[in-house]
Structure 1
Amino acid sequence: MNTDTLPSGTQSTGDSPLRDSARRTLKVEEQAIAALAERLDSHFDRACELILACRGRVIVTGMGKSGHIGGKIAATLASTGTPAFFVHPGEASHGDLGMITLGDVVLALSNSGETAEVNALLPLLKRLGTPLIGMTGRSDSTLARHADAHLNAGVAREACPLDLAPTASTTAALALGDALAVALLEARGFTAEDFARSHPGGSLGKRLLLSVGDLMHGGDRLPSVPLGSPLRDALLEITRQGLGFTCVVDEHGRLAGVYTDGDLRRTLDQHRDLSRLRVDDVMTRPGKRIAPDLLAAEAVRVMEDNRITALAVVDDEGHPVGALHMHDLLRSGVI
């Protein structure tokens, strides 16, 4: 294969022309994104300031591939604390411009900056006094010149070997949109809980919002035996509750330790006669535990770090109030 067409620093491996083509594409797009960081200037600050001051929503618009990228940028903004939605520029000129209200900001995408459907909106936006952020590949374009802030997403060339199909340019625009969304997220002090509230139905929301108390087994489902109990009683309690362990509580009702399926295997390995053993002799002290108000995701971390499948849930005074098993986390979608 002729390697003269490969970007600088990219060598043909000789193992597959298809993979060589893919590497060329990725290298061109990597270079396009890297160039964005060098071009960030006060216009980026101005764009952020306009959106942070916005009392309404960010209206994102763009035609063709720019429109597809714009739709994703709008979705990312909306899920990270900046109300936003996408409006097709062609539909906007035929009635949908009514979606833009006082207090909104418009983010318009056009690689050339000369897209007719987008630029047709400029007089209307100026008349409304709507702040305009332009994201283009040409700083001397019509859209860039009329924008209150211009985000330069230009690329040296497309990854397409014909330098025609939008590839590197759409990747750069997408990355610049992500950079804008993250900068706004951090400026707003947006938290993981805020993110979860906009994703209540997905695994992200479940992972971030569910607490240990929401999932734990309490009341009659809490496995527990007192200190001094025969080992036989602990084994019966583990079998009865089916959670793979039992809490062992002291005379004040506080958690003194736990006895688990793993402890049973060690007991069988170390003791020939189990009939005389008490749970105190073989239990794990003090036992891993967690508070009910912590996020279920924290329980996952504790279990994974300690290679266990269940946790005792205790209150502030150390009294067991529940039990949590890895299966509960799996069923809930936290894992």
Structure 2
Amino acid sequence: MLPAARHLLETEARAIARASERLGDDFEHAARLILQAEGRVITTGMGKSGYVARKLAATLCATGTPASFLHPAEAVHGDLGLVQTGDVVILISKSGATEELVRLAPRLQQAGVSCIGILGKTDSPLARVCQAVLDAGVDQEGDLHNLVPAASAIVAAALGDALAVSLMQARQFGPEDFGVFHPAGQLGRNLRLHVRDAMHTGDDVAWVTPEAALRQVVIVMTRRSLGAACVLTPQGALAGLITDGDVRRALELHDDIRPLRAADIMTVAPQTIGPDATLREALVLMENRPRQLSLLPVVDSESKSLGLLRLHDIYQAGLAKSSRGAG
């Protein structure tokens, strides 16, 4: 089973690479048609291509391009009213001759819309009605009998994603814009909320001085239960951080811990973050490193300690408020 699975994945990867090499003027023309359109983007396709078209419409909406999916069979039974002059229609078909799409094409021409094809055959009937054609052709699907529309569907989806990303670039669509379209869900919360919205401050945090005895540090950390203590200078600046791991290592290394002070076991100059950073920025800072961090001290521009942010807090931020609103 593993050789068959690897063959499929390698076939799909090669097909996407070839599609990338074929990108050219038609791709840029397709992107310009969408950018200059007065209406929205309509995606359509049958079967597996229909699922790709649905996914493309969702991706476009999420990245700042209004889009809707139109089922080609339902279109000729009343749903064609979704299409308006000024729209751009993206036709997705492996054969380029899907019966339902071919039947729909004259109606689209009558509606005065621009058509883009993501097609497996560029010399097909559908290609002839499109102003721009993206070549989604593949040599092999990847299964043992070359029957399952695997590589062809993946290439069509990848070309759609490439269009969406190119439009994002042209519109300078950034993380803040993305957050506007994703107000719910973890990704949306991470883009919309900031460290100050999720951090622990005040009496929730264990604060100690560099001279505090280790026993006192452990007592304060136990009472606060955030897994760390912030070590502060007399001016309130962050001198260091003590985590549960630091305490365990001190117990391993020292037979007698009574002489130890906070300054003896703390991490000097730990990784920190500011309160105005987004939770996404905090997550990247904590996870994109050889050894992941479970918490971050929060400091202001003058290194004054403000509190602590845990990885757990990032995933919980906004949930309680959302649950209350849903009720």
1:108 aligns with 2:91: yes
Q: Deviations over 1:15-37 (max 9, x none)?
A: xxx44444554454444334323
TM-score, normalising length: structure 2: 0.83
Match of 2:50 in 1: 67
The equivalences for 1:190-209 within 5 A come to 190-209=173-192
Q: Deviations over 1:43-69 (max 9, x none)?
A: 111111101112322100112222122
The equivalences for 1:319-330 within 5 A come to 319-330=304-315
CA distance in 2, matches of 1:283, 1:162: 62
CA distance in 2, matches of 1:54, 1:314: 47
CA distance in 1, matches of 2:218, 2:182: 42
Contact 1:203 / 1:333 at 8 angstroms: preserved in 2?
no
One-letter amino acid of the counterpart of residue 219, structure 1: G
One-letter amino acid of the counterpart of residue 254, structure 2: Q
CA distance in 1, matches of 2:144, 2:271: 59
One-letter amino acid of the counterpart of residue 319, structure 1: K
Q: 74, 85, 92: which is aligned to 2:75?
A: 92
Contact 2:44 / 2:71 at 8 angstroms: preserved in 1?
yes
Task: Report deviation, 1:302.
Answer: 4.4
Task: Report deviation, 1:311.
Answer: 2.7
Return closer, same or farther for 1:227/1:168 CA change in 2, 3 Å cut-off: closer
Three-state SS of the structure 2 residue aligned to 1:290 is: coil
Task: Report deviation, 1:105.
Answer: 0.7
Three-state SS of the structure 2 residue aligned to 1:321 is: strand
1:173 aligns with 2:156: yes
Match of 2:302 in 1: 317
Match of 1:80 in 2: 63
1:44 aligns with 2:27: yes
Match of 1:270 in 2: 254
Match of 1:183 in 2: 166
Return closer, same or farther for 1:265/1:67 CA change in 2, 3 Å cut-off: closer
Return closer, same or farther for 1:133/1:318 CA change in 2, 3 Å cut-off: same
One-letter amino acid of the counterpart of residue 198, structure 2: L
Bigger CA radius of gyration? 1
Return closer, same or farther for 1:167/1:320 CA change in 2, 3 Å cut-off: closer
Q: 208, 233, 247: which is aligned to 2:230?
A: 247
Three-state SS of the structure 2 residue aligned to 1:205 is: helix
Return closer, same or farther for 1:32/1:312 CA change in 2, 3 Å cut-off: closer
One-letter amino acid of the counterpart of residue 27, structure 2: F
Q: Deviations over 1:174-199 (max 9, x none)?
A: 22222222222222223233334333
One-letter amino acid of the counterpart of residue 301, structure 2: D
Range with bigger deviation, 18-27 or 132-141 = 18-27
CA distance in 2, matches of 1:144, 1:310: 55
Task: Report deviation, 1:107.
Answer: 0.5
Return closer, same or farther for 1:22/1:54 CA change in 2, 3 Å cut-off: same
One-letter amino acid of the counterpart of residue 98, structure 2: T
Contact 2:192 / 2:278 at 8 angstroms: preserved in 1?
yes
Three-state SS of the structure 1 residue aligned to 2:268 is: coil
Three-state SS of the structure 2 residue aligned to 1:200 is: coil
Return closer, same or farther for 1:87/1:223 CA change in 2, 3 Å cut-off: same
Q: Cα RMSD between the aligned structures?
A: 3.0
CA distance in 1, matches of 2:142, 2:261: 71
Q: Deviations over 1:229-278 (max 9, x none)?
A: 4444433321211122222322322223333333433444336261x655
Contact 1:222 / 1:321 at 8 angstroms: preserved in 2?
no
Contact 2:4 / 2:144 at 8 angstroms: preserved in 1?
no
CA distance in 1, matches of 2:143, 2:296: 54
1:134 aligns with 2:113: no
Runs of 5+ unmatched residues, structure 1: 1-17
TM-score, normalising length: structure 1: 0.81
Return closer, same or farther for 1:294/1:126 CA change in 2, 3 Å cut-off: same
CA distance in 2, matches of 1:213, 1:225: 22
Contact 1:253 / 1:319 at 8 angstroms: preserved in 2?
yes
One-letter amino acid of the counterpart of residue 79, structure 1: A
CA distance in 2, matches of 1:273, 1:145: 82
Return closer, same or farther for 1:328/1:93 CA change in 2, 3 Å cut-off: same
CA distance in 2, matches of 1:302, 1:27: 33
Return closer, same or farther for 1:140/1:320 CA change in 2, 3 Å cut-off: same
CA distance in 1, matches of 2:276, 2:156: 41
